[in-house]
Amino acid sequence: MFRQAINRLCFSLLLLLTAPQVFADYSWNFPEPVTPMALDTLHVHNKFMLIVAVIFVVVLAIMIYSIFKHRKSAGYQAVADKAPSTFSEIFWTLIPFIILLLIDFVIMGIPAYHSVVMMEDTRNESHLVLKVTGSQWRWQYEYMGNTDKGIEAGIEDAKGIKFVSNLSTPQDQIDGTVAPVNDPEKPYLLDVDNRLVLPVGAKVRILMTSTDVLHNWWVPQFGSSRLAVPGFIRETWVQVEKPGTYRGQCKELCGKGHGYMPVVVDALPAEEYKAWVIAKKEEMASADAGADKEWTKEDLVAEGKAVYEKNCAVCHQVTGAGLPPAFPAITGSKISLAPIFGADGKYLPDSHLDRVLNGKGIMPAWKATLNDTEIAAVITYERNALGNNVGDVLQPSQVKAARQ
Amino acid sequence: MEIKNEELSPAQTRHLANKKLGFKMLWIVAGSLLFAFALVPLYDVLCTITGLNGKTVTTASQLENAKVDETRWVTIQFTSSVMPGLGWNFYPKQASIKVRPGQVETVLFEAKNITSQVVAGQAIPSVSPGQAAAHLKKIECFCFQRQELKAGETKLMPLRFFVSNDLPVDVKEMTLSYAFFKSKD
Amino acid sequence: MSTTTVAHHDEHADHPTGIMRWLTTTNHKDIGTMYLTFSLIMFLVGGAMILGIRAELFQPGLQLMKPDFYNQLIGVHALIMIFAALMPAATGFANWMIPLQIGAPDMALPRLNNWGFWLLPPSAILLTLPFTLALFGIGDGAMATGWTFYPPLSVQGGFGVDFAIFAVHLLGISSVLGSINIIVTLFNMRAPGMTLMKMPMFAWGWLITAFLLIATIPVLAGAVTMLLTDRHFGTHFFDAAGGGDPILFQHLFWFFGHPEVYILLLPVWGFIPQILQTFSRKPMYGYKAQVYSLWAIGALAVVVWAHHFFTAGLPVPALLYFMYSTMAISLPLAVLFFCWIKTMWRGSMSFETPMLFTVGWIILFGIGGLTGLVLADVAADAQYHNSYFVVAHFHYTLFAGGIMGIMAGVYYWLPKMTGHMYNETLGKWHFWLTAISFNLTFIPQFFLGLAGMPRRIPDYALQFAEFNAISSVAAFVLGLSQLLFVYNIISTVKGGKKATDQVWEGAEGLEWTLSSPPPYHSFSEQPVIK
């Protein structure tokens, strides 16, 4: 028995002694840091882990010595502590107390203080402001524009750009009907349709909020994580110093889709960032223009299927059967079959369009996240597919009118 | 107790003493239950004083002294969220402004009811960084009471406020956010 | 500590037999036995749930369950392990051993004691019933919010949340009743001459636990009650729309939740030194220092709660305060560790199963404590928070520090309780299998957390696959090893080598002066401590 114990303990000792080498290998530690905050966090973490490893090894060594030396089977006779005088007891027990006091409040306490202050330094000298809104189960990004400092630095102003970022892993892989596909370009569960794009080197002040439950926006390589609280605004900051794609996840349990709302950030150099901003703005403008043209039912249904499967299928299921009672079925539902508009040409309360635009309870208000064409398409799809056959067509222009 | 101790057996005396101490302990239980509910208003007070959660006071403030701090600018950004269930559009008319502490400013928000019914909503303010929340003083705000909009009605909602001179110097930038909820009643 | 002669009379006559004995019993040993049995059953139930989880996590992709069901399992696993396995185990020992250790004939409030226990089975049913109802298509299962009940998710949830709230109410009342009983017993029922500072350490651990319980359980009860009214009666304690704040719930919850950690651990810190002195054959070192450290930890426990939600956005002064106060807990803990090891030092140690568990406990709980020290750092906590690093950390404190400690206590006292020696070989096998598979389960989770895997996700990205596979296999070994434990206990209860009164060569204290098993009514005449 004890041979095993020795072997095991020696092995763990060896592991701990090689700890500095282990720390150098990122797959056994935090991923490579790309922001000052993450770098600082890594340093603090390494330092603290080393300290506690040393404490552990020293204490363990004393214990092991005692276990082998002071055992009955080795014939060791117990040496009773001379009824410890109060003085000697205080003296001896103060030693570990003071060692830990020193470690806690000096060796660990001082660097920890500086890290906290740095981490919470959200107020000064940001270049641009980004608003991140968590919803079940997707992130919405809104560029609130450059600050004076950002304008001085000549960063392309992305103000007005606003989009939703959905998990893009195919549904059959998520459901487990197909094995997850190993694609480094589109990693399983960590890829989205619309990535957040940030300029390299810019300090970004990130405002966090939520429209339903608590979420937590976390990219490990950024070292920042902050709770998104519905009705409240919180902030953190990132300054990505290396171009690349960085992936993270929601880290506050937010319901059944909690594991399925990744964060993907592309950090681009200034020029590429500028090109992205211009292209994105054009894309948004042409989507607006698309709302004015007359669409055929087939085109809307085709477009709507894509929108539905990306945004709605998580809850209402690909088939439209829903997951009652929390998520009602689309197929045969009162809302999908009832007329949308009243006699005055205005959409009716609790009509299909009302529910999609404005939401209710767990159902998000899609007017904040989908454009006119997408809303028109998805409603037309829901009314004319998924086992429904209402026959009407909702034009993007009607949605545009309804939401103004 | 009516019965004198001498008349009780030792076991009975002990039993009484145990019961008595047991009931005393119930007072601690009751006290901490009370404490839990007392924490609700206490937390509110604490938040108002320290800005712990970024909430601003929900009643009108008075401009306490008219002295304007000409030495610094504070940038205030405005943002809004319309919560699910409220059929409104709601956004700030200006994305951000620069103010001098002590200077009264008016900013406008626009709300439109896009449904075909009368709808009431309540705006909940939140300020980040939290420590600035206590220094953003509102003289007049649409968030002090619930707002009602007729079908299709558009309304400009003004906010008159000033930033207190006591705002810590290192706060140069803050964000005021309004989350508009559908009124429950 | 020496005692006068103790009356040994085996009486059987004056209590009902069969099921009525257990339903109506006010005997501290019967109630202790029921608590321990209940705890063991619920330990297996909670363990089965987590094996379901580990099976699902064995490889990426969903194979066995839907995310909803996964979320229900993790939350109910935690509630069961904390409230229905660990706490009743500690209360069971308290019932069995405190009267024996302090020379009392029974607990102070025997009828209360009976009620305290019989609240447990209904609450266990409340916790698990929604699973069964969902099988028949009623409702959507148990609460799926994690054991922390955070609103607004818990406000959204189905009636599983209400069931869990009521279960927590009942469990809370049960532990408050149990605690009051223990406090009164310790204050009023000690043998003549046993001053507070002569009490066995286990009694001290429980006294502080009991005070923590009656001070914090009502806060939890208040918090979940507010949640209930938010859900059904239109209040808005935690709803921004009505002027509430979801974060307030986190403050209330962890005001209870952090002391809860020490509620689970303090009883263990009580009997661990007793086991150490028995098997080191020398008195424990630093009795006073340990008592004061336990008090210090009890006091610090209620002022550090916000370190559970550093990322929720607290002001810098609050962050610093909670960071430093959390680190300060390591000071009394260092004293405790020192005293434990000093007790072993220059003793004459032998390594029967209770001692093996105790030594393993010190090492593994040490890892839990040290990683806790690292977690106190606010900046690095942004990375650790809600990652698998935290999961590994609190399993080192609660499985190693809690359950393995309880197991040490079971092996230590089982011969006294049953009158039979357990099977030593099986016990040693149980220890080594548990210790090794426990480490293989949770060391990979430290690395998973560092690499960025959040907790409470039903499926994960492919780079986490290897560590998860190792962890799952080890978890099954860990789970199955516990069957040895169950078998060993059952066969010891049924029979086996007769245990002596002292059982262990180095055992000291009043409980070892009684026969094994002790008479149904022990200490009809209280011993006098000199």
Long-range Cβ contact pairs of A311-316 (< 8 A, separation 24 or more):
A311/A138, A311/A164, A311/A166, A311/A366, A311/A370, A311/A378, A312/A378, A312/A382, A313/A171, A314/A137, A314/A257, A314/A260, A315/A362
pLDDT surpasses 90 at A77: no
The shortest C-alpha distance from C141 to chain A (Å) reads: 11
CB contact residues (below 8 A), chain A span 38-77, against chain B: none
The domain segmentation of chain B, as residue ranges, is 5-49, 52-182
Global pTM value: 0.90
- pLDDT tens digits, one per residue of A263-304: 999 999 999 999 999 999 998 888 877 777 888 888 888 888
Cα–Cα distance measured from residue A168 to residue A212, given in angstroms and rounded to the nearest whole number? 22
Neighbour count for residue C135 (Cβ, 10 Å) = 9
CA atoms of A259 and A314, how far apart (whole Å): 12
B126 and A231 in contact by Cβ < 8 A? yes
Residues C31, C95 contacting (CB under 8 angstroms) = yes
Residue B33 in contact with partner chain C when CB distance is under 8 A? yes
> Each residue of A67-100: b (16+ CB within 10 Å) or e?
beebbbeeebebeebeebeeeebeebbeebbeeb
Interchain contact, A120 vs C316, CB within 8 Å: yes
- What pLDDT, on the 0 to 100 scale, is given for residue B57? 74
CB pair distance less than 8 Å for C188 and B39: no
Q: What is the pLDDT of residue A179?
A: 85
Are residues A404 and B89, on separate chains, in Cβ contact within 8 Å? yes
Largest distance between two CA atoms of chain B = 85
Residues 368-427 of C with CB under 8 A from A: 370-371, 373-374, 377-380, 382-383, 385-387
Class of domain B52-182: mainly beta
Name the DSSP class of A76.
P
d(C-alpha A383, C-alpha C484), whole Å: 59
Give CA–CA dist A52/C201, Å, rounded: 28
Residues of chain C with confidence (pLDDT) below 70: 1-15
Q: What CA–CA distance (Å, rounded) separates C347 from A399?
A: 83
User: pLDDT value at position A1?
Assistant: 42
Please state the separation of Cα C91 from the chain's center in Å. 9
Residues of A in contact with C363 (CB under 8 A): 60, 63
Query: Per-residue confidence at A21, pLDDT binned at 50, 70, 90?
Result: very low
pLDDT at res. A326? 78
- Give the model's pLDDT for residue C479: 95
- Flag whether pLDDT at B61 surpasses 80: no
Domain ranges of chain A: 21-120, 128-283, 293-403
For residue B58, the chain C residues in CB contact (below 8 A) are: 243
Mean pLDDT, chain B, rounded, equals 85
Q: What is the pLDDT of residue A343?
A: 77
Q: For A81-124, write each residue's pLDDT tens digit.
A: 666 677 888 888 888 899 988 888 888 888 889 888 888 876 66
CA nearest to C399, candidates C306, C276, C265: C265
Which letter does DSSP use for residue C455 in this model? S
User: Which residue do the tokens 């019967």 mark?
Assistant: C30
Distance between CA atoms of C249 and A230, rounded to whole angstroms? Answer: 14
How many Å lie between the alpha carbon of C245 and the closest alpha carbon of chain B?
8
Bridge partner list, A246: A265
Q: pLDDT digits over C281-317, tens only? A: 989 988 999 999 999 999 999 999 999 999 888 888 8
CATH code, A21-120: 1.10.287
Nearest CA in chain C to A217: C311
Cα of C410 to nearest chain A Cα, Å? 21
Instruction: Indicate the fold that domain A293-403 takes in CATH.
Output: Cytochrome Bc1 Complex; Chain D, domain 2 (1.10.760)
| A169, A174, A175, A180: CA torsion to nearest 10 | 100
Helix, strand or coil for residue A378? helix
ipTM of this predicted structure:
0.89
Tell me the C-alpha to C-alpha distance, in Å, between residue C462 and each of A217, B51, C298, C447, C524. Answer: 20, 42, 43, 14, 65
Q: Do B85 and A232 touch (CB under 8 A)?
A: no
Binding partners of A (≥3 Cβ pairs within 8 A): B, C
Tell me whether residues B52 and C112 touch, CB distance under 8 A. no
CA B37 to each of CA B27, B31, C175, C258: distance values in angstroms, whole numbers, following the listed order: 16, 10, 20, 19
- Taking an 8 Å cut-off on Cβ atoms, the answer to whether B184 and C234 are in contact is yes
Predicted confidence band at B133 (pLDDT cuts at 50, 70, 90)?
confident
Asked if pLDDT for residue A172 goes beyond 90, the answer is no
What's the order of all strands across the beta sheet hosting A138-146?
Answer: A162-165, A138-146, A128-135, A203-210, A234-239
pLDDT tens-place string over residues B136-176 = 888 888 888 888 888 888 899 999 988 888 888 888 888 99
How far apart are the C-alpha atoms of C147 and C308, rounded to whole Å?
A: 14
A298 CA: distance to closest CA in chain C (Å): 34
Angle between helices C424-451 and C465-494 (to 10 degrees): 160
Q: What is the DSSP letter of A28?
A: G
Q: Which residues are CB-contacts of A283 (< 8 A; sequence separation ≥ 6)?
A: none
For residues A71-76, average pLDDT? 87
Q: Do B79 and A358 touch (CB under 8 A)?
A: no
Q: How confident is the model at residue A19 (pLDDT cuts 50, 70, 90)?
A: very low
- Indicate the SS3 state at residue C246: helix
Q: What's the CA gap between C145 and C79, in Å, rounded?
A: 11
Quick one: fold of A128-283?
Answer: Immunoglobulin-like (2.60.40)
Three-state secondary-structure class, residue C399: helix
> Mind telling me how many Å the CA of A165 is from chain B's nearest CA?
17
